Structure 1
């Protein structure tokens, strides 16, 4: 029996840094099991260049990303989603659209590296730190038994991962 790819949406307010990082990391690490997307409740319209730099540093693709609205994923023709993860506290508190596929949801909030004050080196460290946190959470999700990802029993494990 072949496993069906599961669609994952990472949501943040601006869709310029955290959700882009998570999308890139999951697509690189879980490509045989997952297709990751990202979107924002109020997209900035551009991807933060440091997010792309960090993906490149991690040996992951840095092309093809764009800052887009979560409305693109709430249409009847949108991919059926298995999971939706909010990666910022603002998006977690907003009223989300109805997602196709009745996905499981969890909050994996991390601080906004684009909002860090300081010189370029400090900001770059913040982007790397956030990417590391997201990468670790994604690795923990990927370590879960594939058969468990299809049940509601996984909800508490997904929530716990977001607290790591």
Structure 2
């Protein structure tokens, strides 16, 4: 029996595959999926020279999977962030490129099932007037009542920023009108499974909340420091909500996974 091979034009390898298949780049993606980091921290985590880490970070930035922002604590530093939404869509496009039956639609992460002990999550920023209370409200909103969530600041302001309150009310129907900022010291002695800093400055000041607390950093600029007014707060709420949606599966204990 003879087989006739039909030659078809070679399809280009999807960009996500080209970027992610390199072992060091995959390691960098894996680390950045958990938290935002500075270059020197990534150098320690992946145990490679800084010039090599910077080179591969630049390729990931050029590919649109990773972005960087100047640190608000030290402008000489930059924090790197993995765009999980872009990764989800890139993976879906990669499946479609392989076979039409692999057309995938990225599904938004769902609230975790109720575990025996609800995970406790603390969000921190400097003033506890915008970023951390926004994250607290959104995680409580999306967590379906199965999580313990709090927020606090190292130097709390007298009240929440009115544009933060407005952005949550208009975008999600969440009312924080009566909530007041609180100091990190008011939570001394409490245990949190996850402590998430949203401010580069407070990351260095946040106290420990138990030996087993997982420290995560989201490097998010203070919307009150921008000139865009309410637009900056609406944009910040959207970014935090994206991060919160992808945090939910991380908070689900492995044994609770379906």
Residue-by-residue CA offset, 1:92-142 (whole Å, 9 max, x unaligned):
122x2231473111101201011112xxxx311100111111100010011
Paired residues for 1:79-158 under 5 Å:
80-94=191-205, 96-100=206-210, 102-117=212-227, 122-144=228-250, 146-148=252-254
Instruction: State the superposition RMSD in angstroms.
Output: 2.2
C-alpha distance in 2 between matches for 1:28 and 1:51: 16
User: Equivalent residue for 2:174?
Assistant: 60
1:6 maps to which of 113, 119, 129: 119
Runs ≥4 residues deviating over 4 A: none
C-alpha distance in 2 between matches for 1:84 and 1:48: 22
User: Equivalent residue for 2:134?
Assistant: 21
**Which runs of 5 or more residues in structure 1 are unaligned?**
151-164
C-alpha distance in 2 between matches for 1:19 and 1:56: 16
TM-score (norm 1): 0.78
TM-score (norm 2): 0.51
Residue-by-residue CA offset, 1:31-78 (whole Å, 9 max, x unaligned):
33212111001111211111111111112232442111001112x3x3
Query: Is this contact kept in 1: 2:114–2:146, CA < 8 A?
Result: no
Shift of 1:145: 7.2
More RCO (CA 8 Å, sep 6+): 1
